[in-house]
C-alpha cells in the first residue's frame, strides 16, 4: 500500500508530495498532468522489475508513445532537468515468495524507498539515451512513528496493528555510500549487523538493486519489491474482457481485462473446495456467481444470474449473464460499461488481487445515474481500514483519476485531490508544474505536520465540478429521499461526500434552496 509519494523532476511533477489513503480520487482537466502521477507510480513499479532502460521505455511520453528516455525528465523550453528523484512510503505484505519459490518473511512492514536517477548520453545507434543510478535507499519507519505517517482515518487497534508490524534496529536495507565514480550501493541482510552487506558499484548498474533481491539475501527488500511490482494501471479493454478463455488460460485477470472468464471460474471452483466445519461447501460455487450477479444488479436492474459456460468440446470458458425473463447473453453482447463493472466486481472477490490499482476515468461507459454504484464498488475493492487485514480484507488500494463532475461530487470529500497547473519561478526561470490540492478541513490538511506544505484547492476552482448531477439520495422526481441516518434504524456511518459539504452547496447551480 502506497501511503506517500514524493516526486521531483519527472515530467511536470516538480516538488510533488502526495499522501494516499485506501481510496483516492484525483480530479483535473485534460492535460494538467494527473496521468503523470500514474506514470510516476508505474515507473517506480517497473524499476522494481526491469532494467533501467526498459523501465523508462515502458512509460509513455507526452505524446502517448514510448520515446526518448529524455522525455521523462522535467523540461523548461528546450532544457531538461539533469536528475529525477522518487520517494515512496509503503506498507508491504509480511510474507511472500521470491522468483525461485523461496518463502520470505518481512522483519518490518512499514518502509520508505527512495531512488535518484540521472540522464546519461548514449552514443549508440538507438540514440535513446540511458539512465544512471545516483542513489537508492530502503529504510524502515519505526512502528512508534506510524501514527505520524499514516494520517488517513483508520482503526489503530485493528487495521494498523495487523498491517504495520515487526521490528528493526538497523535503519538500512539498501544504502548508498560515496560520491561520483566511487558510489557504492549496498544491500544489507535482515539480520542487521550480522552478515556482510553486498556492495555494488553504482556507476555501472543496469538496474536497481531492489529489482534483484531474493529471500535469502534480504527477505524484507524482496517483499518491498513485490509490493512495488503489484502497483498496476488497470486499462480494461472491452474487446479483451469479452474474449472466452481456454481451459489452460491463466487464472489471474490481466490489467487489460484478459482472462476475466477464467478468473471468475477459478474463484468459484476455489470457493467450492474450501472446507467448512469438516464438510465441503457444496453451494459455495453458486454463491460466488450469486455475489457477482447481485453486484451487477446494482448497475442493471434486469440481471438475474451470472455464470460461466464450460464448453468441453471446444475447451472454452465463456462468461454469461441471464436476464430475469430467462434470456441469456454471452459476454460478446454486453456493453462496455457492463463488462468493466463485471471485471471490477471479480477483482473485489479475488483475495489474490492485492496491491495498488490505478484506474483512469472509471465513469466511462456508465450512465450518470449509475456512477455512485461504480464508486461504491471501487471503494469496496480497497481495504477496509476499520477491520483487520486478512484474506477477506486484503491490503488493497485504489486510486482513480477523472474530470467528471458526477464523480467528483460523489466521492468522499477527504479522498479528493484536485490537479491544477501553477506557475513557479526558480533560478530565474518561469515554468508550469502540476500541484495536487485537497479540500480544507480534511485529514490531508488538518493532520499534516507543520513542516509539510499542503496545497488547498479554492472553492472557485471547484465550481467546474459542481454542476447539478443526479444525487444518490434523490428519487425520480429529483426530491431528496430520507436517508437511513434520518430514520430510527441503525446504520453504518455514511461517508461525507464532496456534494454533502455545506460550504459548497450554495455554489452548486440549481441546488434546491430549501435543502441548504
Phi and psi angles of residue 399, each rounded to the nearest 5 degrees, phi first: -125, 125
CB-CB contact of 144 with 154 (8 Å): no
Helix (H) or strand (E) segment spanning residue 36: helix 34-47
| Spans of all domains in the chain | 2-19+41-234, 240-351
- Tell me which residue of 84, 87, 116, 112 sits closest to 8, measured CA to CA: 84
Give the range with max mean pLDDT: 161-175, 308-322, 455-469: 308-322
Give me the chain's average pLDDT, please.
Answer: 86
63, β-bridge pairs: none
CA distance 14 to 265: 45
CB atoms within 10 A of CB 382: 23
C-alpha grid cell, residue 364? 466511462
pLDDT of residue 278: 47
Please, what's the b/e burial string for 197-229 (b: 16 or more CB within 10 A of its CB; e: otherwise)? bbebebeebebbbbbbbbbebbbbbbbbbbbbe
Instruction: Give tens-digit pLDDT for 174-201.
Output: 999 988 888 999 999 886 555 678 888 8
Q: What is the pLDDT of residue 260?
A: 97
Task: Give tens-digit pLDDT for 330-362.
Answer: 999 999 999 999 999 999 999 888 899 999 999
Mean pLDDT along residues 8-23: 95
Side-chain-side CA neighbours of residue 376 (13 Å) = 12
Question: What is the spatial distance between Cα 339 and Cα 361, in angstroms, rounded to a whole number?
Answer: 15
Decide if pLDDT at 65 tops 70: no
Q: How many angstroms separate the CA atoms of 392 and 395, rounded?
A: 10
Q: What are phi and psi of 305, to 5 degrees?
A: -145, 150
Report the pLDDT averaged over residues 487-515. Answer: 65
Asked whether the predicted pLDDT for residue 428 surpasses 80, the reply is no
Count of alpha carbons within 13 Å of 298, Cβ hemisphere only? 17
DSSP conformation class of 64: S
Amino acid at each position: 500500500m502506497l501511503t506517500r509519494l514524493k516526486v521531483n523532476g519527472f515530467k511536470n511533477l516538480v516538488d510533488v508530495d502526495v499522501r494516499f489513503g485506501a481510496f483516492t480520487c484525483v480530479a483535473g482537466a485534460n492535460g494538467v498532468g494527473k496521468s503523470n502521477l500514474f506514470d510516476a507510480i508505474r515507473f517506480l513499479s517497473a524499476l522494481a522489475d526491469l532494467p533501467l532502460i526498459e523501465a523508462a521505455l515502458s512509460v509513455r511520453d507526452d505524446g502517448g508513445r514510448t520515446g526518448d528516455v529524455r522525455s521523462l525528465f522535467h523540461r523548461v523550453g528546450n532544457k531538461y532537468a539533469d536528475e529525477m528523484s522518487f520517494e515512496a512510503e509503503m506498507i508491504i505484505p509480511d510474507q511472500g515468495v521470491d522468483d525461485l519459490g523461496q518463502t520470505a518473511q518481512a522483519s518490518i512492514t512499514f518502509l520508505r524507498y527512495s531512488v535518484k536517477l540521472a540522464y546519461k548520453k548514449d552514443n549508440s545507434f538507438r540514440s535513446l539515451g540511458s539512465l544512471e543510478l545516483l542513489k537508492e535507499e530502503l529504510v524502515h519507519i519505526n512502528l512508534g512513528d506510524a501514527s505520524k505517517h499514516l494520517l488517513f482515518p483508520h482503526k489503530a487497534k485493528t487495521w494498523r496493528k495487523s498491517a504495520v508490524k515487526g521490528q528493526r534496529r538497523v535503519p538500512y536495507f539498501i544504502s548508498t555510500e560515496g560520491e561520483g565514480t566511487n558510489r557504492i550501493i549496498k544491500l544489507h541482510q535482515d539480520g542487521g549487523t550480522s552478515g556482510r552487506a553486498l556492495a555494488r558499484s553504482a556507476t555501472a548498474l543496469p538496474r536497481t538493486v531492489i529489482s534483484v533481491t531474493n529471500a535469502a539475501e534480504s527477505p524484507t527488500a524482496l517483499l518491498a519489491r513485490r509490493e512495488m511490482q503489484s502497483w498496476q494501471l488497470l486499462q480494461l479493454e472491452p474487446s479483451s474482457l469479452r474474449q472466452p478463455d481456454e481451459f489452460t488460460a491463466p487464472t489471474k485477470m490481466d490489467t487489460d481485462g484478459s482472462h476475466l472468464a477464467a478468473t471468475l471460474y477459478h474463484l468459484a471452483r476455489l470457493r467450492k473446495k474450501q472446507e467448512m466445519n469438516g464438510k465441503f461447501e457444496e453451494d459455495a460455487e453458486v454463491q460466488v456467481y450469486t455475489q457477482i450477479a447481485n453486484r451487477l444488479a446494482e448497475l442493471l436492474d434486469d440481471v438475474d444470474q451470472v455464470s460461466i459456460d464450460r464448453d468441453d468440446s471446444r475447451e472454452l470458458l465463456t462468461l454469461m449473464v441471464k436476464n430475469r425473463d430467462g434470456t441469456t447473453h454471452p459476454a460478446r453482447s454486453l456493453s462496455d460499461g457492463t463488462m468493466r463493472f463485471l471485471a471490477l466486481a471479480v477483482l473485489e472477490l479475488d483475495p489474490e488481487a492485492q496491491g495498488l490499482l490505478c484506474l483512469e476515468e472509471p465513469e466511462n461507459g456508465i450512465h450518470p445515474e449509475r456512477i455512485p454504484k461504480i464508486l461504491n464498488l471501487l471503494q469496496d475493492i480497497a481495504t477496509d481500514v476499520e477491520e483487520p487485514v486478512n484474506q477477506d480484507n486484503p491490503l488493497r488500494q485504489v486510486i482513480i483519476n477523472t474530470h467528471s463532475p458526477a464523480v467528483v461530487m460523489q466521492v468522499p470529500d477527504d479522498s479528493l485531490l484536485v490537479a491544477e497547473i501553477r506557475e513557479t519561478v526558480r533560478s530565474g526561470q518561469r515554468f508550469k508544474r502540476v500541484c495536487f490540492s485537497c479540500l480544507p478541513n480534511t485529514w490531508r490538511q488538518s493532520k499534516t505536520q507543520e513542516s509539510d506544505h499542503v496545497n488547498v484547492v479554492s472553492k472557485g476552482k471547484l465550481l467546474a465540478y459542481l454542476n447539478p448531477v443526479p444525487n444518490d439520495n434523490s428519487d425520480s422526481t429529483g426530491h431528496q429521499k430520507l436517508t437511513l441516518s434520518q430514520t430510527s434504524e441503525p446504520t453504518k456511518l455514511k461517508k461525507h461526500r464532496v456534494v454533502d459539504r455545506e460550504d459548497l452547496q450554495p455554489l452548486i447551480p440549481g441546488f434546491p434552496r430549501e435543502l441548504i
